[in-house]
Amino acid sequence: MKTAKSDRWFYSAFFGSATTGPLGTIVALKVLSVGGTVIQYGVIASVATLATVIASIFWGILIDEVNERWLVLGISYFGVMASLIGMYSSTTLFNLAFSYVVASFFQAAAGPASNVLIMQLTTKDGWSKAFGRYNAFSSAGVVFGYVVSSIFSTFFSLNSVILILSPFCAISTALVFVTLRGVSTPPIERRALALNRTSFISRLLSNPTFFLHLPRKEDLKGFVRMLRTSFNRETPLLYLSLFVFNFSSGIFNTAFNPSLVKKGLENGVVLGVNLFVMVVQTLSMRIAGRPSKKEELSAVRRGLAFRMLGYVATSLSIYFLASYELAIAVGLSFALSGGYAYSLIYVSMFSLVFDSLQMERQGGMLGIVSALSGVGVFLGSLVSGYLAFYAGYTVTDLVAAVFLGVVYYLLRSFKE
């Protein structure tokens, strides 16, 4: 029986994330550089989100059907690499958008495949350490990708940066095939991801759309009944909070980079701002850890307050500042909202979701959560482009902050 060569395959997460981490920012800059509008970018971002939701279902079914989960992981990296080559050779906005959507589709396969592989190749008492180590490689890769992108975009075109990032996914593909090919492991169902808190949170942090199966009509009816029943009301309100939170994030995140371009910041500076935010987010995830069960709700509320403050500070900076003063101000404000606050909200909120899942209805309710999260980001990105184009970026950021206030309101009645 062939076994994995230690955990050297974790390095594939580093190089894969180095490619995909800065990709959304690069696409935003690329769309605007070829004459596209923020509306067009908003549409592209929303379609990419939709592709990710569909991909989560498709790759999940495939992973359930095959034993060679390592092959799905290799296909994911290879597909992203091929998409980047298509993006590099794109001559029209449509081709660029299509390549990005395809990249998003393949990228979505890496999360579920790697999570199941970790659980297959590691003893249960070592899952927590393995997930932490794997996520550390992934986060470091995102930071490295932004470093490379911000440096090279200062001297070369965005097309050249895309070409430079492509080989990283080739390295990831090769690492998967060299270290995991032919590995024989005990079978484990994807459902086990939702039975362990560490694996569950790790999976949703990498991609908040996770379907054990598609929500059925009975699941939707049950969700509506829960809204009407005061005894179970906190659970559906938590799920609605996730929807509104993702809607707000879609609005803010989609408009953020175009707003900096609109104010005249260079590509390298925009990528540098995002690099700073990712460093703060990575350190926050490592330092903050996971709050205790009795502190989860207060951590979510505290994170929402910080995130609202960051959104408002960003909107004011966009309105009043310019040049490098703007870069510093939005870097700090976005680091607060997208870095520190993000780690507080997501880790704590997904812990609350884990506690809310009933064993007999686990798959259906998790499907509801994933559908609401995906639709939230999809609608937020779509609305963001039109809102920024017609009302301005300052108004767009303030609207996103208002919806965070709605989330805070929805959670007001929750008990610790």
Q: What percent of the chain has pLDDT over 70?
A: 81
Residues 154 and 233 grouped into a single domain: no
Number of domains in the chain: 2
Split at pLDDT 50, 70, 90, the class of 202 is low
Within this chain, do residues 47 and 178 fall inside the same structural domain, yes or no?
yes
Amino acid identity, position 304: L
- Based on the fold, state whether residues 294 and 170 are members of the same structural domain: no
pLDDT bucket at 345, cuts 50 / 70 / 90: confident
Q: What is the pLDDT of residues 309-321, one digit of tens each?
A: 999 999 999 999 9
Give pLDDT, residue 339. Answer: 80
Domain match, 238 and 105 both = no
Last residue of a domain, one of 181, 210, 239: 210
Q: Which of 40, 97, 45 is nearest to 389 (CA)?
A: 40
Predicted TM-score (pTM) of this structure: 0.89
Name 378's Cβ contacts closer than 8 Å, sequence gap at least 6.
Answer: 46, 49, 50, 53, 250
**Any idea how long the chain is?**
416
CB 63 within 8 A of CB 113: yes
- For every residue of 98-149, DSSP letters joined together read HHHHHHHHHHTTHHHHHHHHHHHHS-GGGHHHHHHHHHHHHHHHHHHHHHHH
Q: Could you tell me if 267 and 335 lie in one domain? A: yes
Examine the domain organization and report whether 200 and 231 are in the same domain: no
Closest CA to 400 of 379, 385, 380, 386: 380
61-84 burial: b if 16+ Cβ within 10 Å, else e: ebbeeeebbbbbbbbbbbbbbbbb
How confident is residue 231, by pLDDT bands cut at 50, 70 and 90?
Answer: very low
- Is the domain of 257 the same as that of 389? yes
Residues 305, 413, single domain; the answer is yes
Q: Which pLDDT does position 416 carry in this prediction? A: 54
Q: Which domain holds residue 125?
A: 1-210
Domain boundary among 179, 210, 241: 210
Phi, psi of 165, deg, nearest 5: -75, -25
SS3 211: coil
Give residue-wise pLDDT tens across range 68-116. 889 999 999 999 999 999 999 998 999 999 999 999 999 999 988 888 8
Q: The CATH number of the domain where 290 resides is what?
A: 1.20.1250.20
Calpha distance 356→364 (Å, rounded): 12
- 351 membership: H or E segment, kind and range: helix 341-356
Quick one: 266 and 192 in the same domain? no
- What is the rounded CA–CA span in Å between residue 360 and residue 69? 27
Q: Within this chain, do residues 220 and 202 fall inside the same structural domain, yes or no?
A: no
Place of tokens 């579920």: 112
What is the model's pLDDT at position 214?
A: 58
The DSSP symbol for 66 reads: -
Domain boundary among 210, 230, 263: 210
Q: Are residues 268 and 172 in the same domain?
A: no
CA-to-CA dists, residue 243 to 46, 47, 214, angstroms: 15, 17, 17
- Whether residue 150 sits in one domain with residue 266: no
Q: Inter-axis angle of helices 38-65 and 93-107, to 10 degrees?
A: 30
Residue 289 main-chain phi, psi, to 5 deg: 65, -155
What pLDDT score does 188 carry?
61
